[in-house]
């Protein structure tokens, strides 16, 4: 049996997104007596660090390969869960809730108000009682007892919304001010690049043949609505062999040749790949295992945890960091710095 330790939830990293959602599923089996105006319509977005998403700030969602970012064209599978207020109030938790499968459509227009569509429509309670909902990405087949368990594979972003409450009254519906779902990243995006200080250093180590992130939690467990834990069982995660700047493939078949520093400002660094991993707190450790063509065996590199803008130390959820490996004749020195999660495009407002 797997055990889990409490994780940390931090603000997320740097892009605004938005969609309007048609919702899915209800305990009622006959909706013929319900006015179509009572159908639940949601809106969702992704905020910059420290910013509050408002309706006017919403933009279209975009996504790359794995990391949620610019230029998304493919559909995105998400899920929501709901609990309904009854005579005695709400259930104690989401343990009896079902996962409501939904598709976040990849092709959007400026007037598309149904960009996320649930498999089965969902409706407000006809008696006017409240409903609470919470959403997550990726949709997972492992959802039971109010808990979604998602494997960490290095290339899958994991996001969770806040819990919101609404009812059928016009001013109290989802999508109104203060009732916009906001998907927040729960992992850290680690980007790796490298360069050699001089030709002697390049000759000493040769080409990079592999980079692995050591001892990473193998799964994320989300207990709805807001508890995020990470498995104590660990595994090594290979870097995703794609450039983090444009997602083009990196060819490691013959080794990756590093550039040589030309000056103090021109390092000629090469991108080595990336990994989406669990956040690392100040008392944690982060290690890479590196293999090169001219070094016998593998070399383990301990990365000093960076200090963030808010003075916290570590790798924060929802933040992106670039770790630059500097090859010298005698050693490989890593330096970690925080970077933008994504490039933020000009806003394209999605009307509700």
- Domain-embedded: residue 344: no
Helix (H) or strand (E) holding 203: helix 199-205
Residue 197 shares a structural domain with residue 234:
yes
- Domain-embedded: residue 347: no
Query: How far, in Å, CA of 324 to CA of 245, rounded?
Result: 15
- Domain-embedded: residue 309: yes
Residue 14 · residue 344 · CB < 8 Å: yes
- Res. 271 pLDDT band, cuts 50 70 90: very high
Residue where a domain stops, chosen among 151, 185, 219: 185
3-state secondary structure (DSSP) of residue 233: coil
Residue 202 shares a structural domain with residue 57:
no
Helix (H) or strand (E) holding 202: helix 199-205
Query: How far, in Å, CA of 155 to CA of 122, rounded?
Result: 32
- Res. 120 pLDDT band, cuts 50 70 90: confident
Domain extent, residue 286, equals 188-339
Mean pLDDT of 114-142: 86
Residue 152 shares a structural domain with residue 164:
yes
Q: What is the pLDDT of residue 220?
A: 96
Residue 328 shares a structural domain with residue 271:
yes
- Domain-embedded: residue 352: no
- Domain-embedded: residue 13: yes
- Domain-embedded: residue 348: no
Residue 32 shares a structural domain with residue 176:
yes
- Res. 250 pLDDT band, cuts 50 70 90: very high
Residue 316 · residue 188 · CB < 8 Å: yes
Residue 161 shares a structural domain with residue 20:
yes
Task: State yes or no: pLDDT of 9 exceeds 50.
Answer: no
Residue where a domain stops, chosen among 156, 185, 214: 185
Query: In this predicted structure, which of 21-35, 153-167, 276-290 has the lowest mean pLDDT?
Result: 21-35
Residue 116 · residue 21 · CB < 8 Å: yes
Angle, CA of 283, 240 and 147, to the nearest 5°: 60
Is the model more confident about 120 or about 6? 120
Evaluated on CA atoms 139, 162, 15, 17, the torsion sign reads positive
Residue 323 belongs to a domain with what CATH number? 2.60.40.2630
Task: State yes or no: pLDDT of 177 exceeds 50.
Answer: yes
Q: What is the pLDDT of residue 167?
A: 94
Residue 118 shares a structural domain with residue 140:
yes
Residue 323 shares a structural domain with residue 208:
yes
Residue where a domain stops, chosen among 185, 208, 230: 185
Indicate the average pLDDT of the chain: 79
Query: How far, in Å, CA of 327 to CA of 202, rounded?
Result: 7
Residue 344 · residue 60 · CB < 8 Å: no
87-97 residue pLDDT tens: 999 999 999 99
Query: How far, in Å, CA of 56 to CA of 347, rounded?
Result: 10
- Domain-embedded: residue 156: yes
Q: What is the pLDDT of residue 106?
A: 58
Residue 86 shares a structural domain with residue 194:
no
Residue 241 shares a structural domain with residue 154:
no
- Domain-embedded: residue 165: yes
Evaluated on CA atoms 67, 69, 75, 81, the torsion sign reads positive
- The closest of 231, 193, 192 to 215, measured between CA atoms, is 231
133-165 residue pLDDT tens: 999 999 887 999 999 999 999 999 998 989 999
Residue 248 shares a structural domain with residue 291:
yes
- Res. 127 pLDDT band, cuts 50 70 90: very high
- Res. 26 pLDDT band, cuts 50 70 90: very low
Q: What is the pLDDT of residue 43?
A: 60
Tell how far CA 32 is from the center of its chain: 39
- Res. 109 pLDDT band, cuts 50 70 90: very low
Mean pLDDT of 233-256: 94
Task: State yes or no: pLDDT of 20 exceeds 60.
Answer: no
- Number of folded domains that form the chain: 2
Task: State yes or no: pLDDT of 84 exceeds 50.
Answer: yes
Residue 153 shares a structural domain with residue 236:
no
Q: What is the pLDDT of residue 316?
A: 94
Q: What is the pLDDT of residue 104?
A: 72
Task: Tell me whether residue 160 is exposed, middle or buried, using C-beta atoms within 10 angstroms of its C-beta: 0 to 12, 13 to 18, 19 or more.
Answer: buried
Residue 192's beta-bridge partner residues? 273, 323
């Amino acid at each position: 049996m797997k055990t889990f330790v409490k994780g940390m939830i931090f603000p997320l990293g740097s892009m605004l997104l938005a969609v309007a959602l048609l919702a899915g599923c209800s305990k009622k089996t006959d909706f013929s007596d319900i006015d179509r105006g009572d159908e639940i319509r949601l809106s969702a977005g992704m905020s910059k660090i420290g910013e509050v998403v408002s309706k006017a700030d919403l933009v279209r969602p975009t996504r790359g390969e794995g990391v949620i970012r610019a230029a998304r064209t493919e559909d995105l599978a998400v899920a929501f869960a709901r609990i309904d207020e009854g005579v005695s109030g709400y259930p104690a938790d989401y343990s009896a809730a079902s996962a409501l499968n939904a598709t976040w459509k990849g092709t959007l227009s400026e007037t598309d108000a149904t960009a996320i569509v649930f498999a089965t429509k969902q409706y407000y309670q006809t008696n006017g009682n409240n409903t609470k909902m919470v959403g997550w990405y990726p949709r997972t087949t492992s959802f039971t007892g109010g808990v979604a368990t998602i494997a960490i594979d290095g290339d899958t972003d994991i996001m969770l919304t806040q819990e919101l409450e609404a009812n059928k009254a016009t001013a109290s519906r989802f999508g109104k001010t203060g009732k916009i779902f906001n998907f927040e990243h729960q992992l850290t995006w680690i980007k790796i690049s490298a360069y050699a200080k001089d030709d002697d250093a390049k000759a000493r180590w040769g080409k990079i043949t592999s980079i692995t992130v050591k001892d990473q939690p193998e799964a994320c467990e989300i207990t709805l609505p807001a508890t995020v834990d990470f498995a104590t069982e660990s595994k090594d995660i290979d870097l995703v062999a794609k450039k983090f700047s444009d997602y083009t493939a990196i060819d490691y078949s013959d080794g990756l040749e590093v550039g040589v520093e030309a000056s103090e400002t021109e390092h000629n660094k090469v991108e080595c790949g990336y990994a989406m991993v669990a956040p690392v707190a100040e008392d944690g450790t982060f290690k890479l295992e590196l293999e090169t063509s001219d070094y016998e065996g593998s070399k383990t590199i301990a990365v000093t945890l960076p200090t963030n803008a808010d003075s916290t130390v570590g790798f924060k959820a929802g933040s992106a960091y670039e770790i630059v490996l500097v090859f010298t004749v005698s050693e490989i020195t890593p330096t970690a710095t925080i970077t933008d999660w994504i490039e933020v495009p000009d806003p394209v407002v999605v009307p509700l």
